Amino acid sequence: MPEPRMPEPRAWIRLPSGRRLDLLAPTPFDWSEEDLAIGLSRTFRWGGHSIWPGAPLSVAQHSLAVLALRRARGELSLDHARRELLHDAEEGLINFDCISPLKPFLGPGFAALQSRLQDVVALRYGLPPWTPDDKRAHKSCDIAMAAAEAVHVAGWTRAEVRGTLGIRAGVMELDPLVPIYGGEAWRPWPPELAAERFLAALALT
């Protein structure tokens, strides 16, 4: 009797819309805007750890906060605002925001996957390439948000932010999302609300 054939390894994932995202050969047409918003709203920062009851902090909320902080520091064109909003978009497509201690163990295969997804996101949304000045401005806001989230959401102390996490930015007290959306500073939003607000922001950029 011939041996049974093993099924081919599956390299695609099913998104909420029913579309399939091929992780080995993604295209800009593999997801809907709702797929992206849902994915980012259900992908959590800080490994999902939070001092708040309820939902942890989503990448969708973080992305909106980085955009708000970047706008507070200077005017942005629409395409640059879109690039800020989508700076972690690939994480929402695979529902995974890798924490720093884990990254060295994932190897070049995962880095290549991230790069493929970043490329198709940039192509779909017409994102301009990062210039050195743009990248510095973005990283300043992204790092400032990380320092604030570490204390106000994940429960690290200010001393640990600098000494253990190695983040040199000061810890902000003002949540940049409160002037826009109201609510309690630094409280993670429910996923449904985060997705709704992300979709609305994406439609305006």
Interval 121-144: pLDDT, tens? 999 999 999 999 999 999 999 999
| CA-wise closest residue to 121 among 147, 94, 89 | 89
Domain assignment of residue 178, yes or no: yes
| Number of domains making up the chain | 1
Q: What tokens were used for 70?
A: 């970047």
The whole-angstrom separation of Cα 44 and Cα 61 is 9
Q: What tokens were used for 60?
A: 């969708």
Residue 50 is part of which domain span?
31-203
Location of structure tokens 């970047």: 70
Band of pLDDT at residue 55, cut at 50, 70 and 90: confident
Domain assignment of residue 177, yes or no: yes
State mean pLDDT over 50-56: 94
Domain assignment of residue 160, yes or no: yes
CA separation, residue 176 to residues 38, 69, 164, 186, 187 (Å): 22, 6, 25, 9, 12
Q: 163: domain CATH number?
A: 1.10.3210.10
Residue 90 predicted with pLDDT over 90: yes
DSSP percent split of the chain into helix, strand, coil, nearest 5: 55, 5, 40
- The whole-number pLDDT of residue 3 equals 67
Location of structure tokens 């593999």: 30
| CA-wise closest residue to 93 among 200, 5, 15, 153 | 15
Total-model pTM: 0.95
The whole-angstrom separation of Cα 79 and Cα 58 is 23
Contact 58, 41 (CB under 8 A): yes
Domain assignment of residue 11, yes or no: no
Domain assignment of residue 86, yes or no: yes
Domain assignment of residue 57, yes or no: yes
Percentage of residues in the chain having pLDDT higher than 70? 97
Residue 6 predicted with pLDDT over 90: no
Across the chain, what does the average pLDDT equal? 96
Location of structure tokens 């949540």: 175
> Residue 185 has what DSSP assignment?
T
Domain assignment of residue 149, yes or no: yes
Domain assignment of residue 126, yes or no: yes
